[in-house]
Chains A and B, each alone.
Chain A
Amino acid sequence: MSFEGLPKGAVAKKRSFLESIYLVEILRGLGVTIGHLLRNIFHTDEMPTMQYPEEKRVYGDRFRGRHRLMQREDGSPRCVACQMCSTYCPADCIEIVAAEHPDPEIEKYPATFDIDLLRCVYCGLCEEACPCDAIRLDTGIYEIAADNREKFVVDKEFLLNNETDGTL
């Protein structure tokens, strides 16, 4: 190999005889692993593993979990079915059917608001797009479980209920 034009000092280090036998290097590697093993046997509580259901990782405030729909004071959803979130969604997972609202200030409301939680990538773009603070991803729920695909499509009542845990 030629190193012309490169800064000085960039030479291929030739392997010494002991290194080319590899046995010495293998023994050094074995020493490293046995060091880790013994350290972990005698200091088990310093290992970085979290025992999952008993210890859970603490996430920051901006962590994007499962969605929820926000309510006005009278319990109706703040959402005005403007379709901005479903347009912006990159995974195409929000389906809204609009209906007319009697109050002329609030022209529309969502008759149905379905989110397919399996398609969702939890990017938070719907939360950013919404002009009414109607959808938020701040529940912090990431343990979402069901036993068939149809149960992952959640509807308006489920999303309006802010007291649920992860099971569907």
Chain B
Amino acid sequence: MAFVVETLIKIIFMFLMVLGLVPVLIWAERKGSAFIQDRTGPNRAAIGGVRLAGLVHPIADVMKLVFKEDVTPGNRHRGLYNLAPWLVMTVAVSTYAVIPFGDYLLVAGRQVKLVVADLNVGLLYVLAVASLGTYGVVIGGWASNNKFTFLGGVRATAQMISYEINLGLALMGLVLVFGSVRITDIVAGQGQLLFGFLPMWGVVIQPLGFVLFITSIFAETNRTPFDLPDGDSEIVAGYHLEYSSLKFALFFMAEYAHMVVGAALISAFYFGGYQIPWLPRAVLENHAGLFLTIKLCGFIVVALWIAVLFMRRAQREKGKFNDERDREPLMGVAFWLVLAVAAAAGLALKPWAVGPVGASLIVSILQVLVFVMKVLFFAWLFIWVRWTLPRFRYDQLMALGWKVMLPLGLANLVVTAIVMALI
């Protein structure tokens, strides 16, 4: 019974994390791409006069999509047409079930593992569910009764299945090194030290595998430079052309959910997941109070510095707009001052003298935060690469997958096997 309750809470947490990061990523994509291209990006939507640099825009996007007319083609295959968006979204969120976002949590004397489903074959589950993702794309493309969407769906399928092979091969190297297909073992194993001083992260012991894996993840999520299936300027909109309103909103959110999941996979397999380099759990627990105090002090310093930057901007741009926008740097100052005061109030509670239960809780929260930060960094990497690289042509894409990456993946596997046999 307690197990059911714990699992439900973990499911809700993971679900909220994936779906909650989607609007943040939409904002980051629109503002980030704008700043990379030397333009401002969306900055008009506001709630009650508070603009938040465009963070309100994803809410406006969702509301627009909800109120749009649901235009559907006449000769579509009704069942499959309605199934496709659901399939894509479900696959994205299901993959998240086996990724650990923390070590464990001590609750009432019991250790609760911070992963929704600690499967024996976690890695195989990830690969299998990622394969299901191709169904959503090709079903959506075919059921729309449109040659262009069909072509987009077919291309997407061919691309995704070819890069799944490379995905599996890159991960096999990791399995050889860590000796287990269980993801929690792989993540926990990355806490060891190699040669005594390097953290045994996946990227350190399998650099070629990392490059292959990250390229394959880009191809699996249909993200530039591999986004020919839904390339905006090439094939109109590809497989989600004939969808509008909420079904399109689901495809749209599913793309960003795939990005979050891809980022989580990269950070779990190759960058240590929730681990902090050189600080295993025992060390953290012994010095939890010290770390918390250092973090709070650091946060106060950073918050005060940001408040000072806003204050300087408020003084520099006094009267620039002569309307409500003059208030905005002052709102920034107020916000960061409030945060600094809250952190100082936290300091007043004597965080350096926590007991063992408190230390364990602090370390668990710290690990979850580290995981979230790594996921955010890799999601930003997805966006960054999209607005840097041009799109691959279809034959270049397939040539890369089969003629370059497959031999490299096999070579990686052979070299890893030889090295592991010699050690």
Contacts and interface: CB of A to CB of B under 8 A. Distances in A.
A23 B321 CA distance: 45
Contacts, number: 38
Contacts of B385: 26, 30
Given A23-B211, A36-B35, A30 B384 contact: yes
Contact of A29 (B32, B37, B388): B388
Given A32-B388, A33-B387, A33-B388, A47 B40 contact: yes
Interface stretch (A48-56, A79-87, A100-108, A139-147): A48-56
B39 A47 contact: yes
Q: For chain A, give the interface size range.
A: 10 to 19
Interface of A: 23, 26, 29-30, 32-34, 36-37, 40-41, 44, 47-49, 51, 54
A154 B44 CA distance: 33
A34 B36 CA distance: 7
Given A29-B389, A30-B388, A54-B321, A36 B36 contact: yes
A13 to B, nearest CB: 20
Contacts of B211: 23
A23 B32 CA distance: 22
Nearest to A41: B35
27 contacts: A23-B211, A26-B385, A26-B389, A29-B388, A29-B389, A30-B384, A30-B385, A30-B388, A32-B388, A33-B384, A33-B387, A33-B388, A36-B35, A36-B37, A36-B38, A37-B36, A40-B35, A40-B36, A40-B38, A41-B35, A47-B38, A47-B40, A48-B39, A49-B38, A49-B40, A51-B40, A51-B43
Interface size class of B (residues with CB under 8 A): 10 to 19
Interface in B378-412: 384-385, 387-389
Closest 7 pairs (CB-CB, A-B): A40-B35, A49-B40, A33-B388, A29-B388, A33-B36, A37-B35, A49-B39
B387 A48 contact: no
Given A29-B389, A33-B384, A54-B321, 15 more contacts: A26-B385, A26-B388, A30-B384, A30-B388, A33-B36, A33-B388, A34-B384, A36-B38, A37-B35, A40-B35, A40-B36, A41-B35, A47-B39, A49-B40, A51-B43
A54 B385 CA distance: 33
Contacts of B36: 33, 36-37, 40
Interface in B277-322: 321
B138 to A, nearest CB: 29
B44 to A, nearest CB: 9
Contacts of A29: 388-389
A48 B35 contact: no
Contacts of B387: 33
A30 B40 CA distance: 20
A41 B35 CA distance: 7
Contacts of B43: 51
Most chain A CB within 10 A, of B37, B211, B388, B389, is at B388
B204 to A, nearest CB: 17
Contacts of A26: 385, 388-389
A37 B36 CA distance: 5
A82 B36 CA distance: 55
A41 B38 CA distance: 10
A26 B386 CA distance: 11
Contacts of B388: 26, 29-30, 32-33
A47 B389 CA distance: 22
A51 B384 CA distance: 25
A144 to B, nearest CB: 22
A30 B36 CA distance: 10
Contacts of B384: 30, 33-34
A34 B211 CA distance: 20
Nearest to A25: B389
B233 to A, nearest CB: 19
Nearest to A36: B36
B40 A37 contact: no
A157 to B, nearest CB: 36
Contacts of A36: 35-38
Contacts of A41: 35
Interface in B22-48: 32, 35-40, 43
Chain B CB count within 10 A is highest, among A32, A33, A40, for A33
Contacts of A37: 32, 35-36
A37 to B, nearest CB: 5
B405 to A, nearest CB: 12
A30 B389 CA distance: 8
